[in-house]
Chains A and B, each alone.
Chain A
Amino acid sequence: MSSQANFTHAEAAEQFIADEPRTDWHDDTLWFVREKRDKAAHSLPEWEQLRQWASDIKYHGLSNMHQLLVDFEKNAIANGIQVHWAVDGKEHNEIIYKIIQDNQVQRIVKSKSMLTEECHLNEFLTEKGVEIVDTDLGERIVQFRKETPSHIVLPAIHLKKQDVSETFHEHLGTEKGNNDPQYLTEAARGHLRDKFIASELAITGVNFAVAETGGFVVCTNEGNADMGAHAAKIHIACMGFEKIIPKAEHLGVFLRLLARSATGQPITTYSSHFSKPRAGQQMHIVIVDNGRSRQLGRESFRNSLKCIRCAACFNTWPVYRRSGGHSYHTAVAGPIGSILNPNLDMQANKDLPFASTLCGSCSNVCPVKINIHEQLYLWRQEITKEGMAAKGKTFAMWGMSEVLAHPAIYRMAGKMGRWVVKHLPFLTNNGMNPWFKQREMPEAPKESFRDWYLNNKKK
């Protein structure tokens, strides 16, 4: 949706925080997930070593990507898997549509794949008259509501159980006003079981693809990826090429990190290793570039391709927790989305790297040690260099650099500022000053630190 967004992060966030109790709830809920992550991480004395191994394996992968992909393809084909390549999202969608048409199938289920969100597969197929049923519970909820996932691991985290209850009442005929998560989940289980059993084609994502075996791993807690893939006669797995890792033994490192970082679980319920279609089944893999090879060439930003989509950075991020996933107008929101999306479309996503405090917490929790906050800072410079930074921001930065460069002006501005805040507060406490939104102006001190220091030195 990056190219169609007609609002900025700040505008959408303003709407999100209008409901204060809900904003607080969102903030607290994600912080709770962050705390579970901390507990899981602290239970392993080798946690920091694991992160380093993971980061190094991924960098080895990025630096040998060509060979690993060639090996993966050769081994996957030898296993009986059909391998497809897509330069961009459009090609990815067309490949899938062609498989659907060639096999004349109608009943399609899909488990969670952020890549298919990035490529807007659902919209593409809907326009062609093909219906896809999302089977992850959170994704099914947002699909019913004609929304997009607001979080890459917890797609419906922006909703309350009352919202889900209303949606299920409308679409599944559940009892009105019954908000019990157990009851609602049971209703979805029944509804989706029928879809799995009838399904002819299943689409899944890929968490890790292993070059030396030509196989791939898909992780879920619900079991929806497997219910689809093992019931349908056609399985299509979609992956960005950066999902490649060299060897099966490296899964030991990544599967130890993924769920602990994502939800604080020691591992997801199902870590499924696919390598051959079952008898009579077709298995396809679509390998997608969509800007990734360009990102690989950007020295400052290539490490973003190490991401394993755990969303630990989302949960710790003060801005994400208080602005919600939809304010990012992109498939992958949060900090990692804010460093990936400017590569996909800088103009459409120029606002995202600015929606950060640069506190560094995102980098500290990242299981593959991506320097997220540093990349956010570097993207700001790229965007400003391209002349895309918000005009008000550019003007304010120019003003600030002039003031800071001239000590006399700086001292005078300080004095004026203190006087204005004290005597004419309405000059700052108004709608023209974005810093006053959701904030109180501080009480102005009587004198500057410099004046205080000079006075006290004399004493």
Chain B
Amino acid sequence: MSARETILAGIMANQPLSQDLPVIDVSAVIQFDSNLNQFKTVLESIGGIAIEIIDWTALQDMMQSDFAQGKRVVNAIAEIGSIDPNLASLEAAELASVQRAFVKGGIAVAENGSIWLDETAMVNRLLPFIAEHLVIVIEAKNIVATMHHAYQHVASFDTGFGMFLAGPSKTADIEQSLVIGAHGARSLMVCIIQ
């Protein structure tokens, strides 16, 4: 027998009688007075920065100022500028010097400050990890209370890769001392459009 058949036969012989799945009653979970306020509070507690903006101009200004200072910036948001047609195929060595990346987020989650990003939004899977600093734009109306609500909205496995991102990269592996900026982005700024 192949390993597959051996394992599956062993499982078939040993698994207990089937028990039904529980019903996840989303009305029974926590609610917040304001998903926006909760999101901002949690995001700041996990090391992120939240700012509210009125329109895309603020981001265009930020990007222009980066360019003016000679920083390497990669944009993945069509609303604020052109997107490099080769971005999807750039490899790690070519992205290693990116100082700031701009990415558009989808659903955001008030209870934990996370934001859904999928492959369509990030264009290149490595971009939100390898950029030194990350700016994500979300819309206030897309903030939901909990992860249960979030999974009702995101097609979590459809694009090939997607993630909930919560704050900048961090570690506490040395004596439990929190250090921001482990391997991924050193900072995360979330711009919330009303």
B-contacting residues of A (Cβ < 8 Å)? 29, 32-33, 44-46, 49, 52-53, 56-57, 59-60, 62-66, 69-70, 79, 85-87, 91, 135-138, 141, 154-157, 159-161, 164, 181-182, 184-186, 189, 192-193, 196-197, 199, 210, 213-215, 221-224, 226-227, 230-231, 241, 246, 248-253, 255-256, 263, 265-279, 287, 289, 293-294, 296-297, 299, 302
Q: Once bound together, how far apart are the Cα atoms of A44 and B30, in whole Å?
A: 7
B106 adjacent to chain A (CB < 8 Å): no
B87 adjacent to chain A (CB < 8 Å): no
B56 adjacent to chain A (CB < 8 Å): no
B contact patch SS: loop
Q: Once bound together, how far apart are the Cα atoms of A60 and B17, in whole Å?
A: 9
With A44-B30, A289-B7 as known contacts, state yes or no: A137 contacts B157, CB within 8 Å.
no
Asked if B15 contacts A249 (CB within 8 A), the reply is no
With A60-B20, A161-B174, A252-B150 as known contacts, state yes or no: A87 contacts B7, CB within 8 Å.
yes
In angstroms, how far is the closest chain A Cβ from the Cβ of B116? 9
Asked if B3 contacts A223 (CB within 8 A), the reply is no
With A222-B171, A227-B130, A248-B156 as known contacts, state yes or no: A269 contacts B29, CB within 8 Å.
no
Asked if A62 contacts B176 (CB within 8 A), the reply is no
B82 adjacent to chain A (CB < 8 Å): no
CB nearest to A251 among chain B residues: B151
Asked if A269 contacts B175 (CB within 8 A), the reply is no
Asked if B160 contacts A223 (CB within 8 A), the reply is no
Within 8 A of A (CB), among B110-164: 111-114, 119, 125-126, 129-130, 146-148, 150-152, 156-158, 160-164
With most chain A CB atoms within 10 A of its CB, the pick from B21, B46, B109, B175 is: B175
Additional A-B contacts beyond A215-B157, A223-B184, A226-B126 (5; CB < 8 A): A57-B22, A137-B171, A248-B157, A253-B24, A302-B16
Q: Which of A52, A251, A256, A289 contacts B156 (CB 8 A)?
A: A251
CB nearest to A70 among chain B residues: B8
Q: Once bound together, how far apart are the Cα atoms of A251 and B157, in whole Å?
A: 12
Q: Which of B93, B156, B185 contacts A197 (CB 8 A)?
A: B93
Within 8 A of A (CB), among B3-32: 3-4, 6-8, 10-22, 24, 28-30
CB nearest to A253 among chain B residues: B24
A-B contact pairs, 20 of them (CB 8 A): A56-B22, A63-B17, A141-B173, A154-B172, A161-B174, A185-B182, A215-B157, A222-B171, A223-B183, A223-B184, A226-B129, A230-B129, A231-B126, A266-B112, A270-B165, A270-B169, A270-B184, A271-B166, A294-B14, A296-B11
Q: Which residues of B contact A56 (CB under 8 A)?
A: 19, 21-22
Give the size of the chain B interface in residues (CB under 8 angstroms): 74
B105 adjacent to chain A (CB < 8 Å): no
Asked if B174 contacts A164 (CB within 8 A), the reply is yes
Q: Which residues of A contact B22 (CB under 8 A)?
A: 52-53, 56-57, 60
With A44-B30, A213-B157, A251-B156 as known contacts, state yes or no: A293 contacts B184, CB within 8 Å.
no
Asked if B147 contacts A287 (CB within 8 A), the reply is no
Q: Which residues of B contact A268 (CB under 8 A)?
A: 166
Q: Which residues of A contact B161 (CB under 8 A)?
A: 230, 272-276, 278
Among all A-B residue pairs, the 6 with the closest Cβ atoms? A223-B184, A297-B14, A293-B10, A276-B160, A266-B112, A138-B173
Asked if A193 contacts B15 (CB within 8 A), the reply is no
Asked if B183 contacts A193 (CB within 8 A), the reply is yes
B181 adjacent to chain A (CB < 8 Å): yes
Q: Which residues of B contact A276 (CB under 8 A)?
A: 160-161
Asked if A270 contacts B163 (CB within 8 A), the reply is yes
Q: Which of A91, A185, A214, A274 contacts B3 (CB 8 A)?
A: A91
In angstroms, how far is the closest chain B Cβ from the Cβ of A243? 14
Q: Which residues of B contact A141 (CB under 8 A)?
A: 173-174
Asked if A213 contacts B156 (CB within 8 A), the reply is yes
Asked if A29 contacts B21 (CB within 8 A), the reply is no
A-contacting residues of B (Cβ < 8 Å)? 2-4, 6-8, 10-22, 24, 28-30, 42, 46, 88-89, 91-93, 96, 109, 111-114, 119, 125-126, 129-130, 146-148, 150-152, 156-158, 160-177, 179, 181-185
Q: Which residues of B contact A63 (CB under 8 A)?
A: 15-19
Q: Which of A137, A155, A230 contacts B182 (CB 8 A)?
A: A137
In angstroms, how far is the closest chain A Cβ from the Cβ of B103? 14
With A252-B24, A255-B147 as known contacts, state yes or no: A275 contacts B92, CB within 8 Å.
no
Q: Which residues of A contact B148 (CB under 8 A)?
A: 249, 252-253, 256
With A137-B171, A181-B174, A249-B151 as known contacts, state yes or no: A230 contacts B183, CB within 8 Å.
no
Asked if B183 contacts A189 (CB within 8 A), the reply is yes
Q: Which residues of A contact B175 (CB under 8 A)?
A: 29, 159-161, 164, 181
Q: Once bound together, how far apart are the Cα atoms of A374 and B60, in whole Å?
A: 60
Q: Which residues of B contact A32 (CB under 8 A)?
A: 176
CB nearest to B164 among chain A residues: A271
Q: Which of B92, B112, B158 contacts A196 (CB 8 A)?
A: B92
